[in-house]
Amino acid sequence: MFLTRLTSSPDFYTLLYLAVGLLLAFNLLEIVFLLVHKRRIERTEERKETLKRRILTAAVTVTAPSEVLPKPLTDDDYEAYGEATSSIIESFEGEITERAAGLIHDFGIDLYYKRLSGHRVWYKRAHAIDILSSLKLERSREFFFAAFEKETSNTVKYRILYGLSLLVQGSEDIRAISRMLSTLPYLTAKYTEDVFINIVTVIKNSGREDEFGAFLKEIMTDAGVHTKVKRDCLSACRAAACERAGPIVREYYKTFQAEPEIIIACIKTLVAMGDFSILPDVLRHKDWRVRLTALKYAHLSNSDIKHDPKTLLHDPKFHFAVLPGILRHKDWRMRLTDLKHAHLHSTGILRALQPLLHDPNYHIRLNAALALSKMGGRGLEMLWAEADSPDKFAADAAKYALDSAGDAA
Amino acid sequence: MAKILVVDDDDTIILVFRTHLTKAGYTVETAVDGVDAFAKIPAFKPDLILLDINMPKMSGFELAKRLKESPETKNIPIFIMTSLKQEANIKKGYDLGIEEYLTKPTNVAHLLLRVNKFFEKSRSC
């Protein structure tokens, strides 16, 4: 009804032109606004980059950079100072980091980020915490503890704990971080491991490595600490080479026989410390993942366990027994995974490996050739035969494996 | 004068290395990733490459692999400079045939000493 009246109105076309004109004007204004805004952002970024370069040059070339640099006035200035100084502290050590620390102190860069960490928007708080973490200032330690108590977002809390892990001063701090970590949902193995790697690195640098061993012992029987966290602590021990914790890791191995993940972490950590004493035992562990992990290190050990890998080949529950079947699996990732262990299998597997040299997947061809080369004898003979194959891809894989075997020899 | 190619996607590293190495008398060229470095190597012909691992487009490992596979570039010494401290990465680097695997944070004074010693040793060989 309304539409009929509108279209039959004598002013219809006038109104239509007016509406189209208004829309056009609005769109034009919008485009102009976006272009102006883009230019403004670009100019701000350019200005920030120029200032950042100036700060970096001053930090590299001048003994007291704060005497030649302008005092930061705007948020962008502080951002430039924060990014430049944190980048120096993260990548370098020595004199240049002392100059960056001087700049932070003289211009109150950390104070700015401490203020920003109280912002109502969580990602601004997270950004402020990230920069404060990378500045690694001892005076931020107390601030981080207080910020964790006040913080409402878990995302920001994870970052605060990461920052704190770079500033630990002793066993009390390690315990506090562990307690704070247990109040949050488990994030990822990588995150927890990184936090503990930072802790081990910091306390190792301050000559208090034993304190991490003591902490590991404390949490071993603490039911309040999740098994995954215990596993990540052991992994951190390996990654940060906390060698004094070796005896405690062996205690973990004895205590957590029913926890394959802990046992696997213990194997990796002890092997990294040069301790192969648990290998004979773990090669007979009931969980195949534990046996597989141990097998990867078996060749590094002394000869008295050399019979164990061979025994495993006849283990009906062990996956080597089904290896020839998996080598023909329709998913190339399955074929690839087992190819990596194929050379440990008996020579009966040669027949299963040979067709894989013609597999359409590059990784499969390459790993099949490498497995054959590691088997020596008939494996190498097969590779020599394939090196002249009319299948160019198979021939390339065979030649590559033969070259590698030659280099290794 | 020895020529050094610094390959890193971090402006700070490039600026600091360029300043210090130039001051120490080396001719320095920089590249922001593996692809950029690969393009600059034939013309610049570096005597040493300082290489980061985590970079966009082409990683340091990939670049090192390509350089060590090519007969023209396989003899260019490579120092890897990275924050990756895991044993597997260190092994991978040495397996590729690199000369040194150095982890960040870098002490510039120590790095300069290593670079100087490396060139002294190569000259005496």
What CATH number has the domain bearing residue A401? 1.25.10.10
pLDDT band at A278; cut points 50, 70, 90: confident
Q: Sorting pLDDT into bands at 50, 70 and 90, what band is A322?
A: very low
Q: Answer yes or no: is B88 within a domain.
A: yes
Structure confidence at residue A354 as a pLDDT band (50, 70, 90): confident
Q: Is A91 in CB contact (< 8 Å) with chain B? A: yes
Position A393 in a domain: yes
Q: Between chains, do B107 and A90 touch, taking CB under 8 Å as contact? A: no
Compare A161 and A298 and report the one with higher pLDDT: A161
Residue A97 CB: number of other CB atoms within 10 A? 20
* Contact status of B19 with chain A (Cβ, < 8 Å): yes
Mean pLDDT in residue range A63-78? 89
Q: Confidence class of residue A18 from pLDDT cuts 50, 70 and 90? A: very high
Establish how many alpha carbons lie within 13 A of residue B32's alpha carbon, considering only the half-sphere containing its beta carbon. Answer: 5
Name the band, by pLDDT with cuts 50, 70 and 90, for residue B109. confident
Domain around A68? 40-107
- Rounded to whole angstroms, the Cα distance separating A356 from A370 reads 11
pLDDT of residue A227: 86
Rounded to a whole number of angstroms, the CA Rg of chain A reads: 31
Q: Is A329 within a domain?
A: yes
- What pLDDT score does B8 carry? 92
**pLDDT reported for residue A343:** 54
- Whether the predicted pLDDT of A309 surpasses 80: no
In this structure, is residue A402 part of a structural domain? yes
Q: Which of B8, B11, B12, B20 to mutate to test the interface with A (most CBs of A within 10 A)?
A: B12
| Long-range Cβ contact pairs of B94-100 (< 8 A, separation 24 or more) | B96/B61, B96/B64, B96/B65, B96/B68, B97/B64, B97/B68, B98/B51, B98/B64
Beta bridge partners of A93: B107
A321 pLDDT band (50/70/90 cuts)?
Answer: very low
Q: Which of A80, A107, A134 is the last residue of a domain?
A: A107
What three-state secondary structure class fits A242? coil
Residues A164-189: pLDDT tens digits? Answer: 999 998 888 898 998 898 889 988 88
Q: Could you give the count of Cα atoms lying within 13 Å of A202 in the half-sphere of its Cβ?
A: 21
A363 pLDDT band (50/70/90 cuts)? confident
Instruction: Identify whether B116 is part of a domain.
Output: no
Order of strands, sheet of B48-51, starting from the edge strand that comes earlier in the sequence:
B27-31, B3-7, B48-51, B78-82, B100-103
pLDDT of residue A179: 87
Statement: residue A40 has pLDDT above 90? yes
> Does the structure's ipTM exceed the value 0.90?
no
- Which residues of chain A make contact with B14, given a CB cutoff of 8 A? none
Q: What is the pLDDT of residue A319?
A: 43
> Buried (b) or exposed (e) across B29-41, using 16+ Cβ within 10 A?
bbbbbbebbbebb
Tens-place pLDDT, residues A221-236: 888 788 888 999 999 9
Residue A360 lies in a domain: yes
B24-38 average pLDDT score: 91
Distance from CA of A14 to the nearest CA of B (A): 57
Predicted local confidence at residue A326, as pLDDT = 54
Q: Closest residue of B to A90, CA-based?
A: B105
* Mean pLDDT, residues A127-132: 94
Residue A370 domain flag? yes
DSSP letters, B3-22, are EEEEE-S-HHHHHHHHHHHH
pLDDT at A300: 62
For residues A332 and A328, what is the distance between their CA atoms, to the nearest angstrom?
9
In a domain, A232, yes or no: no
- Cα A173 to Cα A73, A164, A223, A309, A359: the distances in Å are 36, 9, 20, 44, 55
How many domains, chain A? 2
**pLDDT number for residue A340:** 58
Could you report the per-residue pLDDT of B33-87, keeping only the tens digit for each? Answer: 889 998 999 899 999 999 998 888 888 889 899 988 888 888 889 999 988 877 7
The domain total for chain B is 1
pLDDT above 70: residue A137: yes
pLDDT at A318: 44
Q: Which of A38-42, A333-337, A365-369, B21-25 has the highest mean pLDDT?
A: A38-42
Cβ separation B108–A96 shorter than 8 A: yes
Residue A325 lies in a domain: yes
CATH number of the domain encompassing residue B56: 3.40.50.2300
**Residue B120: inside a domain, yes or no?**
no
Contacts 24+ apart (CB under 8 A), A322-329: A323/A349, A323/A352, A324/A348, A324/A349, A324/A351, A324/A352, A327/A352, A327/A353, A327/A356, A328/A352
Is residue B124 in a domain?
no
The residues that bridge with A369 in the sheet, in sequence order, are none
pLDDT at A306 (0 to 100): 46
The reported pLDDT for the residue numbered A112 is 93
Residue A254: both structure tokens together: 């004895």
Smallest CA–CA separation between A103 and chain B, in Å? 16
Domain finish residue from A78, A107, A136? A107
Domain around B7: 3-108
Alpha-carbon distances of A371 from A70, A360, A367, A389, B69, rounded to whole Å: 63, 17, 6, 18, 22
Nearest to A92 among B16, B19, B87 (CB): B16
